[in-house]
Amino acid sequence: MNRINKWLVAMTLEEKVGQLNMLASSQAVTGPGNRRAVEEDIRAGRIGSLLNLWGGNQARAVQRIAVDESRLGIPLLLTLDVIHGHRTIFPVPLAEACLFDPDLWEKTARAAAAEATLDGIALTFAPMLDVARDPRWGRIVEGPGEDPWVASQFAAAKTRGFQGDDLGAAHSLAAVAKHLCAYGAVTAGREYASADLSDRTLREIYLPPFSAAVAAGTAAIMPAFIDIAGVPMTANAPLLQGWLRGQLGFEGVLISDYNAVAELLNHGVAKDIAEAAALALKAGVDIDMMSNAYTQGLPEALERGLVTMGEIDASVRRVLELKERLGLFDDPYRRGSAKPETGDARALAREAARRAIVLLSCKGDILPLSPDIGHVALIGPLAAAPGEMVGPWSSAGLGDDAVSFLDGLKAALPECRIDSASGVDVDSQSLQGIPAAVELCRNAELTVLCLGEDVSMSGEAASRTDLDLPGCQRTLAEKVLDLGKPVVVLLSSGRPLVSPWLFERADAVLATWFLGSEAGNAVADVLTGKFNPTGKLAITWPRNVGQVPVFYGQRPTGRPTKAGERYTSSYLDLPVTPQFPFGHGLSYSRFTLSDLRCSPSCAKPGESVEISLMVRNDSLADGEATLFLFVRDLVASVARPLLELKAFRKIALSVGEQGWVNWTLPIDSLNFVGLDLRPVLEPGQFEIHVGQSADPGELLTTIFELIP
Ligand code: NOJ
């Protein structure tokens, strides 16, 4: 009998339920009273995993209690939200999505795993794979943007990066794909609200990234807090048991979100804790994070016949199997002992950060800055704010270790005089500092305005309705712009900010998101032209909150938009087009696209077509172009979106250089969710569109036919 079977025979009910119980270990390290309670619970086998404890020594100490002092000596699973770096912080996921670079996505996850495992962590609650199209929702910052195909590539890359080739290796972290599913579709972008959407939308938009994570071997999955049309995901047997375990064959662990099992009472689907525990367990949720619903409710649920011992055993087995795969039974102290052979995490952070910056607008040749520039004013509440650079979910990363915009620019321009002032706070009503800040701008050759949100304004529980600059930042910006001197804006945020006035008036605006530990150096690289920007928006940028949700993959309508014409799909008071389309992002280079070809022009299921395109660098700067390949299925049994992303590719071209970009498009990838909600591939004509963004006016188009 293997050790898991032996344990299952030897365990008491309390010990079994203990393996399904995850508590926050901050209780174990912060309060002496609680510390004893948690330690006693570990000793008694009542806790199987902990979250929020890290550090080699702390991890070893707490593990020793489980291994040496509990009856069966089963090691603990130590877990943490390692979302975009651990000690070295990389750009927030929404910013990282703008890299459109699976290789870098994987590398930053690998580097995060190396640092987190050194701190004793074995599992991270990442990647977050919620497709999101509503920037009012604060958690849009944590995910890969609006597109399900991009999210699927992101899912695979991050899972590979965290888990490596061998989950048992000392520097591998178990990944948790979260939050299954449709959390990004909460009503009106309001945190923790319901989502109500069709089965088709679930299958087309929200489930594919999770299929991709499962295909990449994710060790665990976290159901979302929310309910979908009245069925809380924590108790959603059709999706968790039916789709995930049944259809996809997922055999890993399901971990509830924080307190979500007990919250089934608030949802109004369970009348007591035993019912809540039974609903979650029967839906397939193995680990109860933080709600104590399993410890309090499962024994009673068993007595009342709401669950069987077989169901409890199945969950315990999955948890023990995960611990085994992580190598915890062979060596519970493996993580936290050996320093990995990794590259330079700071250099990687700088590379990821400068690639995540999106040059949103740029008039004339204001950027890059002239190498002879002698006097700059760096103004705004985010100019010298290292703590704000790391963004939400910064794990063990410290703001003090991050490079501010001011420090980055000073290091890059040692000969230049740089005057700095905040002018206003991020979100206060005080105008006091504005006159002095404006005075600094009056005397400078150029002003860099550092505006946006602070870290608390995005992430969990940070939904907002007004997406313009918070506080009095607009007043500051307008006073500076009124001087009529050159102004470049660095816009820090976890979501697109809706400030059309700013894009109209400023000479250049860069989305600088929350770029992480190397933010200031990365921004200096781009401003000085040491690095030619390549970041592309992974999310459509609205002009007005009233347009939300606005995304590129719209379906055709019976009355297509015609600007200024009534009775077409439009608004009376605003264009339907966004401020910036998906994929938008300027460069100091200019690229010309030509010769889009598709060969052969007819193909059958199982075959593929070759698509090629010529790209020429028509500018005076070496640069890198990103090309997006979209398709449109012209006639199908279910109306297909006007554009659907199927691939992207980058090409580096020096001044005057040209090169071909080629794709092989498998015909089977053109399947869609048919009338019966099953995948179907239908013959007919498909348009192929290639461009540098989803802006329909900029796309090259060709056509091919799928024949039976
Ligand atoms: C709640 C969040 O929804 C989830 O994403 C996170 O992993 C847990 N808290 C643990 O911190």
pLDDT of residue 702: 98
Average pLDDT value for the chain: 96
> Does the pLDDT of residue 343 top 90, yes or no?
no
Answer whether residue 181 is part of any domain: no
Residue 178, ligand 1, Cβ within 6 A: yes
- Bridge partners of 359? 510, 586
pLDDT of residue 551: 98
Same structural domain, 494 and 418: yes
Q: Residue 369 carries which DSSP code?
A: P
- Cβ atoms of 224 and 182 within 8 Å: the answer is yes
To which residue do tokens 């030509």 refer?
A: 594
Among candidate residues 487, 514, 529, the one where a domain is terminated? 529
Same structural domain, 525 and 597: no
Among candidate residues 478, 502, 529, the one where a domain is terminated? 529
Q: Residue 236 carries which DSSP code?
A: -
Instruction: Give the atom of ligand 1 at the shortest distance from the alpha carbon of 126.
Output: 7
Strands 417-421 and 375-379: parallel
> Does the pLDDT of residue 642 top 50, yes or no?
yes
pLDDT of residue 27: 43
**What token pair was written down for 497?**
């900010």
Secondary structure class of 356 (helix, strand, coil): helix
Answer whether residue 269 is part of any domain: no
Same structural domain, 598 and 518: no
Answer whether residue 499 is part of any domain: yes
Same structural domain, 360 and 471: yes
Distance 681 CA to ligand 1 centre (A): 38
pLDDT of residue 26: 58
- Cβ atoms of 218 and 177 within 8 Å: the answer is yes
Counting ligand 1 atoms within 8 A of each CB, the residue from 25, 176, 258 with the most, and so the one to mutate, is 258
Same structural domain, 608 and 478: no
pLDDT of residue 34: 56
Q: Count Cα neighbours of 563 within 13 Å in the Cβ-side half-sphere.
A: 4
Answer whether residue 75 is part of any domain: no
Same structural domain, 403 and 502: yes
* Protein residue closest via CA to atom 4 of ligand 1: 257
Among candidate residues 459, 494, 529, the one where a domain is terminated? 529
The proportion of the chain whose per-residue pLDDT surpasses 70, expressed as a percent, equals: 98
* Protein residue closest via CA to atom 11 of ligand 1: 81
Answer whether residue 384 is part of any domain: yes
Residue 125, ligand 1, Cβ within 6 A: yes
Counting ligand 1 atoms within 8 A of each CB, the residue from 79, 81, 123, 288 with the most, and so the one to mutate, is 81
pLDDT of residue 337: 80
432: domain CATH number?
Answer: 3.40.50.1700
> Does the pLDDT of residue 336 top 90, yes or no?
no
669: domain CATH number?
Answer: 2.60.40.10
Residue 460, ligand 1, Cβ within 6 A: yes
Instruction: Give the atom of ligand 1 at the shortest distance from the alpha carbon of 52.
Output: 11
To which residue do tokens 């006639």 refer?
A: 635
- Bridge partners of 574? none
Same structural domain, 640 and 514: no
Over the stretch 471-528, which tens digit does the pLDDT of each residue have? 999 999 999 999 999 999 999 999 999 999 999 999 999 999 999 999 999 999 999 9
Over the stretch 34-81, which tens digit does the pLDDT of each residue have? 566 789 999 999 999 999 999 999 999 999 999 999 999 999 999 999
Q: Please classify residue 549 by burial: count the beta carbons closer than 10 Å to its beta carbon, then call 0-12 exposed, 13-18 middle and 19+ buried.
A: middle
To which residue do tokens 């992430």 refer?
A: 459
Answer whether residue 226 is part of any domain: no
pLDDT of residue 29: 43
> Does the pLDDT of residue 162 top 50, yes or no?
yes
Distance 178 CA to ligand 1 centre (A): 9
The range of the structural domain enclosing residue 369 comes to 353-529
If we measure between CA atoms, which residue out of 22, 584, 497 comes closest to residue 287?
A: 22
Same structural domain, 516 and 601: no
Secondary structure class of 409 (helix, strand, coil): helix
- Name the H helices within 259-292: 264-267, 273-283
Could you tell me the pLDDT band of residue 253, with boundaries at 50, 70 and 90? very high
Which residues neighbour 377 within 8 Å (Cβ) at sequence distance 6 or greater? Answer: 418, 419, 420, 421, 437, 440, 441, 443, 444, 446, 447, 448
Same structural domain, 449 and 358: yes
Same structural domain, 479 and 598: no
> Does the pLDDT of residue 339 top 80, yes or no?
no
pTM of the predicted structure, to 2 decimals: 0.97
Answer whether residue 175 is part of any domain: no
Q: Residue 93 carries which DSSP code?
A: H
Over the stretch 109-140, which tens digit does the pLDDT of each residue have? 999 999 999 999 999 999 999 999 999 999 99
Which residues neighbour 347 within 8 Å (Cβ) at sequence distance 6 or greater? Answer: none
Same structural domain, 410 and 519: yes
Residue 257, ligand 1, Cβ within 6 A: yes
Structural domain count, the chain? 2
Same structural domain, 499 and 627: no
> Does the pLDDT of residue 440 top 70, yes or no?
yes
Can 595 be counted among the known catalytic residues?
no
Over the stretch 378-397, which tens digit does the pLDDT of each residue have? 999 999 999 999 999 999 99
- Cβ atoms of 295 and 18 within 8 Å: the answer is yes
Answer whether residue 460 is part of any domain: yes
User: How distant is the alpha carbon of residue 214 from its chain centre?
Assistant: 17
Catalytic residue of the set 257, 286, 288, 454: 257
